[in-house]
Structure 1
Amino acid sequence: MKRLTALLLACTAASAFAQTPDAPAFTAEGVRAHVEFLADDLLEGRDIGSRGHEIAARYVASEFDALGLKPAGDDGTWYQRITFQKTSPGETPATLTVTGPGGAHDFAQGEDVIISPNALERAVDLTAPLVFVGYGIDDDTVGIDDYKGLDVSGKIVVALAGYPDGIASEVGAHLNSTKTETAQAHGAIGFLTLPTIARMKIRPWDMMRHYADGARYTWVSPDGTPFVEAPKIRGQGTLNTPAAQAIFAGAKRSLDAVLAEADKKGARPKGFALKTTAHIRSSSTAETITSPNVAAILPGSDPSLKNQYVVLSAHLDHIGIADPKPGDAPDKDRINNGALDNAAGISTMLEVARAFAESNDKPRRSIVFLASTGEEKGLLGADYYAQNPTVPADAIVGNVDLDMPLLLYPFTDVIAFGADHSTLGPLVAKAVQPMGVTLIPDPMPEQGIFVRSDHYMFVKQGVPAVFLATGYGNGGEEAWKTFLSGNYHHPGDDMHQKIDWQAGARFAEANYRITRAMADGDTPPLWYKGDYFGNLFAPDAMKAGK
């Protein structure tokens, strides 16, 4: 994205960020009040397109209104209303038939294969030869071309999940998330993911199959076309071991050998044509729903900088009500309230907005406060906003996203996922230093979190961005591990948790200081020279020395 070239040429990348004024008071009660409302059972988990989410959206809009902010939605409203397509598996379960030296073998949906419904086709009947493509990465910057010497045109590729050792975790997470686009660029028409030994430890098959029959969502463009990043990939799925073994029948290398090699540090298995074909059949139904982003603006005070925008975002949606399971008690709690994920992030954003609105020292740049929808369905609301912003796209200079701050302990550090790529890293560290809070690097790179929250959609539009969360210090590591293996995406993420509301007030203050520093700095956030994401998504933008 172009980055206000004329203005930046008047600045220098070395300019110091402005000193942050003393932060206003933040209270435990203020943070708790928002979470209490948004995580109430009456909102039924705030699922996309639900009545509960609409109520939550109106709550946020009314808070913005009460603070005297300006609407930043469509047509002078608080809402950017988005049309989504919900694609659900059809009545006939999807199947995968593998034919080769071992004969023909059928694999059922949810047992040994998970086939994703196609957003563009209601019935898919696809047969094509199979080609193993290693990790399925082709990127000159990291020096990997897994497609070299392979003909995949009109074929279905089989790729290892994840990325090889030796690639920076955030770059690897990005490359892993864009494999279908890479396969499409090489002419493939189908894509099958082969979990590695390491991936199965992080996400066992029983965990993956839990989502086999779930709907998929995407936003719909104004012309009515569902947004699909790789529309020519007609069939897509993930393989369990029996299906993978059938696919590798008669191959030059066995499945076990490939997986064993991939499990070695630094190994990169080479691709080769397989001796099997796959027949993918699936059906789906589609319906459209709408759900809003909620957006507000606090105008900047500096005549030269007020036309630049800092975005502070948090997702408002959660996952709604879980389906009943056989044997469930009639009164079993199935409401996924999402108190920490992400009512706590929205509460933080609202408290920061309040502090700015009440301050006599207004920010120099304008601030957009964005409560996004559809994050739990694939970062969809943020993606739509980043591609269709309600302010000039080239005037958005930075984003900080708030997602699932773990307010279960008195945190002493914060994680800014993505901090190493731009001057937002030192800005965050300097902003929270007066609070005695430190900035730590990503402590869980194996989770690929960099591509799993809304800030990533701003990065893809060339905007320096970070995702801020509470850190691992002072009991944080144990709290994170316990939460992710327990209450995460579970009805237990509710107000019955032992939430440390004073930590919530402290997190709000930290984000106020960070947002203030972004808004008041002489120089906006800049990508570092030579940074992977800066070069990829903002090649013409001014860069900073590291």
Structure 2
Amino acid sequence: MTLRPLLLSAMTIAILAACQREAAAPAPAPQTPETAAATPASSHAFDPAIRSEDFAELVKTLASDEFEGRAPGSAGEDKTVEYIKAQFERIGLKPGNGDSFFQTVPMTETTADESTTLKIDANGKPYELKFGTDMVIGTRTGNSEVKIDDSELVFVGYGVNAPELDWNDYEGLDVEGKTVVMLVNDPGFHGKDESLFEGKRMTYYGRWTYKFEEAARQGAAAAIIVHDTDGASYGWDVVKGSWSGAQFDLRAADDPAPRLPAQGWITADVAKKLFADAGLDLAEQYKAAGKRGFKSVPLNAKLSLDLKSKVSEKQSRNVVGVLPGSQRPDEAIVYMAHWDHLGKHDDEPGDNIYNGAVDNATGVAGIIEVAGAFAAQEPKPERSVVFLAVTLEESGLLGSKYYVAHPAFPLDKTVGVVNIDAMSVAGKSRDMTVVGFGSSELEDVLKPIAQQQGRSLHAETHPESGSFFRSDHFNFAKAGVPALYVDGGHDLVDGGKAAGEAAGKDYGDKRYHKPADEYDAATWKLDGTMQDLDVAYQVGRELAGSDRWPNWYEGNAFKAARDQMMQGKPAPQ
């Protein structure tokens, strides 16, 4: 999820969290019915139709203090997944993972010792960086201790290796044993050079996740990203909050890509000092890194680290329910939302429960409401409809990544995906946001439905935030399955675009990834939320009642994967 002067629902918000790690011991056994948390009782009478009263009841429950911020592996998870399962059963869905509603996702939990310091020696000037104040650091290795001694620091610009774009910040550089320092976002972003990459719209190369992945492929000992609010689209408080406490990852056996021994961020102020000690001006290096032909720059500094972490093997759960199709039950449309959030931070004074009402109790409530509408509709859907509540989104889209590797329906039988993440609660709008607008033929299904509500479609208002890569649909997209990520509009009926921008900024500044993200009956305007859910439902209804197989548009990077998986099958209608 992300934040910025943003989309009014702060929808995109994604993934700022995960130092992920490997497995060493078997995951604990799944809970039995005897040990599972009791499902919170509710006297609320649900209606099969999509209703704001039902939606509000679902959000209030999922975002209540009783659920403790829905952290994976916690008592809050137990309550959450049992509650979602109970709602699926109430609606009449069938178990989506064999005879179970749960899909176990093995994970490793790593909690860094926050007394850890980064020791820097810059041109003979030693100093220490403090966790949270100056930097955050973690490991994905699964090791309880990571030691790095006198690793040379080298500035690698944006840390991008994109041969198809004739760009390689690592060209001619051997970083084995070294620590790479790099900038967030894409080359050209800070210099506003529209000729580089996709101009203002962030590509996957701009995401911090990619930068750490590439540094690992290059063999670096550690990687550090320089934080800036514009480039990241969130402030340092979000970085600090997301990298503090328990961090989660898939086991190495389930995700064997290279992993860095240590990775993290430093503040802009620390970066200025680090570069100044090397005789460099950080502002000038921003300019240089955004130009073709950039060459890496030694920082004449060394980094030492003794990082101790608590590591344990655990498991989390996706919740999967299916409404079987009446005529082509082997073909499926997937509705998806992530149930997890940031949990309870016991070391913080005051309100320390990160309730995640907008992010993403709204999305889970949304797919439950859509499921009820599908179950009640006549005629019944011809294709199956899957309702997937995934875990570990806040830790790097891990639950959806695991599902894509172990799907309930084969990916070549998955017609498309509708993702709901952090719904707008700002009221009705004259438009509708499609994150990654112009990507797939699912938009051809969406457009006339939105037009029936008098709404136009457009891209996210802040494409520099990289929203398309920050929510769970991205794992389906990488695998080739067409995916649609829709959100509320920006042009509000009550107040226009200025009100939409203000609502997004207010959420981003005050509530996103903070304890204040709570259900608020006094300020939430759910009439627009119901409009958005109706659109999402109608898209799936159209697909479930037809033989259409939407694809990615020509020229889209994911089309080749879809074409390959559909090779040899009858031509879609």
- The normalised TM-score by structure 1 is 0.84
Alignment partner, residue 410 of structure 1 = 428
Q: Rate the CA distance shift 1:522–1:294 in 2: closer, same or farther, 3 A.
A: same
Alignment partner, residue 427 of structure 1 = 445
- Which of 207, 211, 220 does residue 179 from structure 1 map onto? 211
Note the 1:343-422 alignment, pairs <5 A.
343-422=361-440
Alignment partner, residue 197 of structure 2 = 167
Q: Rate the CA distance shift 1:36–1:245 in 2: closer, same or farther, 3 A.
A: closer
Alignment partner, residue 214 of structure 1 = 245
Q: Rate the CA distance shift 1:348–1:205 in 2: closer, same or farther, 3 A.
A: closer
Alignment partner, residue 495 of structure 1 = 519
Note the 1:83-94 alignment, pairs <5 A.
83-90=106-113, 93-94=115-116
Paired residue total? 504
SS in 2 for 1:353: helix
Alignment partner, residue 59 of structure 1 = 83
Note the C-alpha offset of 1:384. 1.4
For the residues of structure 2 that align with 1:99 and 1:122, how far apart are their CA atoms? 25
Alignment partner, residue 165 of structure 2 = 142
Please tell me whether the aligned partners of residues 124 and 283 of structure 1 are also in contact (alpha carbons under 8 angstroms). Answer: yes
Please tell me whether the aligned partners of residues 184 and 230 of structure 1 are also in contact (alpha carbons under 8 angstroms). Answer: yes
Please tell me whether the aligned partners of residues 135 and 264 of structure 2 are also in contact (alpha carbons under 8 angstroms). Answer: yes
Please tell me whether the aligned partners of residues 221 and 262 of structure 2 are also in contact (alpha carbons under 8 angstroms). Answer: yes
Tell me if 1:121 matches 2:143: yes
Q: Rate the CA distance shift 1:105–1:352 in 2: closer, same or farther, 3 A.
A: same
Tell me if 1:255 matches 2:273: no
Alignment partner, residue 296 of structure 1 = 321
Letter of the 1:530 partner, please give it: G
SS in 2 for 1:59: helix
Please tell me whether the aligned partners of residues 45 and 319 of structure 1 are also in contact (alpha carbons under 8 angstroms). Answer: yes
Please tell me whether the aligned partners of residues 145 and 308 of structure 2 are also in contact (alpha carbons under 8 angstroms). Answer: yes
Alignment partner, residue 94 of structure 2 = 70
Unmatched runs of 5 consecutive residues or more in structure 2 = 1-47, 189-195, 493-498
Letter of the 1:527 partner, please give it: W
Note the C-alpha offset of 1:245. 4.8
Note the C-alpha offset of 1:40. 3.0
Tell me if 1:26 matches 2:50: yes
Tell me if 1:283 matches 2:314: no
Note the C-alpha offset of 1:267. 7.6
For the residues of structure 1 that align with 2:85 and 2:111, how far apart are their CA atoms? 31
For the residues of structure 2 that align with 1:72 and 1:520, how far apart are their CA atoms? 20
Note the C-alpha offset of 1:252. 7.5
SS in 2 for 1:517: helix
Range with bigger deviation, 313-322 or 102-111? 102-111
- Which of 529, 533, 558 does residue 533 from structure 1 map onto? 558
Note the C-alpha offset of 1:227. 4.2
| Backbone CA RMSD of aligned residues | 2.9
Alignment partner, residue 476 of structure 2 = 458
Note the C-alpha offset of 1:394. 3.1
Note the C-alpha offset of 1:526. 0.7
Note the C-alpha offset of 1:25. 4.9
SS in 2 for 1:494: coil
SS in 1 for 2:510: coil
SS in 2 for 1:488: coil
Q: Rate the CA distance shift 1:441–1:220 in 2: closer, same or farther, 3 A.
A: same
For the residues of structure 1 that align with 2:483 and 2:559, how far apart are their CA atoms? 11
Please tell me whether the aligned partners of residues 408 and 499 of structure 1 are also in contact (alpha carbons under 8 angstroms). Answer: yes
Letter of the 1:230 partner, please give it: P
For the residues of structure 1 that align with 2:66 and 2:278, how far apart are their CA atoms? 56
For the residues of structure 1 that align with 2:284 and 2:124, how far apart are their CA atoms? 18
SS in 1 for 2:558: helix
For the residues of structure 1 that align with 2:416 and 2:423, how far apart are their CA atoms? 20
Q: Rate the CA distance shift 1:249–1:409 in 2: closer, same or farther, 3 A.
A: closer
For the residues of structure 2 that align with 1:190 and 1:485, how far apart are their CA atoms? 31
Please tell me whether the aligned partners of residues 409 and 479 of structure 1 are also in contact (alpha carbons under 8 angstroms). Answer: no
Please tell me whether the aligned partners of residues 185 and 202 of structure 2 are also in contact (alpha carbons under 8 angstroms). Answer: no
For the residues of structure 2 that align with 1:395 and 1:140, how far apart are their CA atoms? 33
Note the C-alpha offset of 1:205. 3.7
Alignment partner, residue 507 of structure 1 = 532
Letter of the 2:86 partner, please give it: S
Note the C-alpha offset of 1:324. 5.5
Unmatched runs of 5 consecutive residues or more in structure 1 = 1-23
Please tell me whether the aligned partners of residues 123 and 301 of structure 2 are also in contact (alpha carbons under 8 angstroms). Answer: yes
Alignment partner, residue 15 of structure 1 = none
SS in 2 for 1:499: coil
Alignment partner, residue 466 of structure 2 = 448
For the residues of structure 1 that align with 2:131 and 2:256, how far apart are their CA atoms? 22
SS in 2 for 1:527: coil
Note the C-alpha offset of 1:88. 0.5
Q: Rate the CA distance shift 1:301–1:208 in 2: closer, same or farther, 3 A.
A: same
Alignment partner, residue 509 of structure 2 = 485
Show CA shifts across 1:69-107 (max 9, x none): 22102x41111122322100137x323233353443333
SS in 1 for 2:165: coil
- Which of 211, 214, 222 does residue 190 from structure 1 map onto? 222
Alignment partner, residue 20 of structure 1 = none
Please tell me whether the aligned partners of residues 335 and 417 of structure 2 are also in contact (alpha carbons under 8 angstroms). Answer: yes
SS in 2 for 1:64: helix
Letter of the 2:197 partner, please give it: I
Sequence identity percentage: 32
SS in 1 for 2:127: strand
For the residues of structure 2 that align with 1:291 and 1:195, how far apart are their CA atoms? 30
For the residues of structure 2 that align with 1:105 and 1:41, how far apart are their CA atoms? 41
Please tell me whether the aligned partners of residues 161 and 214 of structure 2 are also in contact (alpha carbons under 8 angstroms). Answer: yes
SS in 1 for 2:302: strand
Note the 1:148-163 alignment, pairs <5 A.
148-163=171-186
For the residues of structure 1 that align with 2:322 and 2:226, how far apart are their CA atoms? 45
SS in 2 for 1:528: coil
SS in 2 for 1:162: coil
For the residues of structure 2 that align with 1:310 and 1:282, how far apart are their CA atoms? 44
SS in 1 for 2:369: helix
Alignment partner, residue 267 of structure 2 = 240
Please tell me whether the aligned partners of residues 108 and 142 of structure 2 are also in contact (alpha carbons under 8 angstroms). Answer: no
Note the C-alpha offset of 1:253. 4.6
For the residues of structure 2 that align with 1:339 and 1:532, how far apart are their CA atoms? 33
Note the C-alpha offset of 1:308. 2.2
For the residues of structure 1 that align with 2:204 and 2:309, how far apart are their CA atoms? 29
Range with bigger deviation, 455-464 or 163-172? 163-172
Alignment partner, residue 21 of structure 1 = none
Please tell me whether the aligned partners of residues 87 and 119 of structure 1 are also in contact (alpha carbons under 8 angstroms). Answer: no
- Which of 258, 278, 285 does residue 230 from structure 1 map onto? 258
Q: Rate the CA distance shift 1:490–1:151 in 2: closer, same or farther, 3 A.
A: closer
Note the C-alpha offset of 1:541. 5.0
For the residues of structure 2 that align with 1:45 and 1:60, how far apart are their CA atoms? 15
Note the C-alpha offset of 1:206. 4.8
Q: Rate the CA distance shift 1:69–1:47 in 2: closer, same or farther, 3 A.
A: same
Letter of the 2:136 partner, please give it: I
Letter of the 2:107 partner, please give it: F
Q: Rate the CA distance shift 1:204–1:186 in 2: closer, same or farther, 3 A.
A: same
Note the C-alpha offset of 1:143. 2.7
Note the C-alpha offset of 1:335. 3.4
For the residues of structure 2 that align with 1:187 and 1:364, how far apart are their CA atoms? 50
Letter of the 1:144 partner, please give it: W
SS in 2 for 1:183: helix
